[in-house]
Amino acid sequence: MSLASQTIKGLQTLLQKKEIQPKEIIDSVAEAAAVRDGAIGGYLGLDQELAHRDAEEISGGVLAGIPIGIKDLLNVKGQPCGCASKILSNYIAPYDATSIAKLRASGGVPFGRANMDEFAMGSSNENSSIKPVHNPWDLERIPGGSSGGSAAIVAADEAIAALGSDTGGSIRQPAAFCGCVGLKPTYGRVSRFGLTAFASSLDQIGPLTKTVEDAAILLGAISGGDKNDSTCLDESVPDYVADLQGDIKGMKLGMPKEFFGEGIDPAIRASVEEAAKQFESLGAEIVEVSLPHTEQAVAVYYIIATAEASANLARFDGVRYGYRAPDAENLGEQYAKSRAQGFGNEVKLRILLGTYVLSSGYYDAYYLRAQKLRTLIRQDFTSAFETVDAIIGPVSPIAPFKIGENVSDPLAMYLADIYTISANLAGICGLSLPCGYMTPSDGQRELPIGLQILGAPFDEGKVLKLGHNFEQSTEWHQRRPSLG
């Protein structure tokens, strides 16, 4: 077994015994990427020499010497942070994001820029302005988005683990499609300082890993208060690894009836129902719950998220940094042409939609109404968590579709996030982990199915414990795509 295919926990043991050195792990990951990433496209760049230098400066920590892939919207000092966009193609980060600083403080080595949908806007990773990412289980299919590169490199053993961001499912959905573990923390658990913002009230940074235990390790490393982010919770970080211990007997899990209606693939429904039976065999109780405003979540999300995106992306104007149109004759043309030439179609679509819903005469009809519905969605979860310890269900209603299949149908793309978006609107935590495999009717290769576990705010420890118990009692997480 190559070092690149190891888990964080496995490498911790080898490093502590001094059987390996960090340089060997970095070289193994780089070698795996050299062999496989030409077909997958999960990385936008790898700086092996810089990673070696960073590893030499490490003195200890829970991640001592372990390289971690970084989604291309997190600032790492001295490295490109292009958000997979032409408009930031020449931007070099002048500082470390807080999550990167905490990663370094724990001994982790930021290694590689993971591909993504441009500015995190997409559910398929086809919107990268550089190149699309291919699902390692079937190279003709999408890996999910927007953290598709982070999920693909972890699933393909081109990374030990990676950091992604989740605005409406962008960690959990790619994790489900690629057969790895993805965790969206509670809003405020991980600092957003240094994360290139898409929608500031929804974005959260989180881990993509090969096991739930690794997710617990990485979450512990990057969590904690930050004076640079007023929305970040300033209190001690729980020992998430210790929280994994013990059984789940007596815990009550809710299955939302709205997650099992029309539109869900029968194979996905069957796998999630089997997962529920597995939880029952472990001593948990399964009950039906209702999240009555689930149907409105997609509409609410695409009003609030685009409104915030239109404001956040106004800073990319061709003046201070980033792409500047070479053929502009005056300041007005410079703004217009730089943005028109620098942004991709999906980003421009969302900026236009966000500007529209915030405009005079439409604010009350759309944005204000969406905020009121967001409150109702949050109340749905609050009511559910009064009777259950966590909620389980599918991550996506569909299997990964073929690249290009839904490009001309954005609504179909948006509806694929119907089970993940609500968690961001409510600010709660959510975990995705493998719970089965299926062969779609239009394909020949087996594809992963993801189970979602949702928890109350700051209940990551409970969600991880449930996920760990399920994972250790099944074999789904042990499978890997067959690649060269």
Q: Would you please indicate which residues are annotated as catalytic (active-site) residues?
A: 71, 146, 170
386 CB neighbour count, 10 Å cutoff:
8
Side chain identity, residue 373: L
Q: How far apart are CA 260 and CA 390, in angstroms?
A: 17
User: Tokens for 289?
Assistant: 């719950």
261 CB neighbour count, 10 Å cutoff:
12
β-bridge pairing 43-45 and 109-114: antiparallel
Side chain identity, residue 129: S
430 CB neighbour count, 10 Å cutoff:
30
Q: Angle CA(193)–CA(196)–CA(197) in degrees, nearest 5?
A: 90
Computed from CA positions of residues 265, 267, 269, 272, in that sequence, does the dihedral angle turn out positive or negative? negative
Side chain identity, residue 119: F
Side chain identity, residue 328: A
Cα first-last separation, the chain: 14
Could you tell me which of 274, 319, 462 has the C-alpha nearest to residue 385? 462
User: Which helix or strand (DSSP H or E) is residue 14 part of?
Assistant: helix 8-16
User: Tokens for 331?
Assistant: 């300041």
DSSP 415: H
User: Tokens for 120?
Assistant: 């995190």
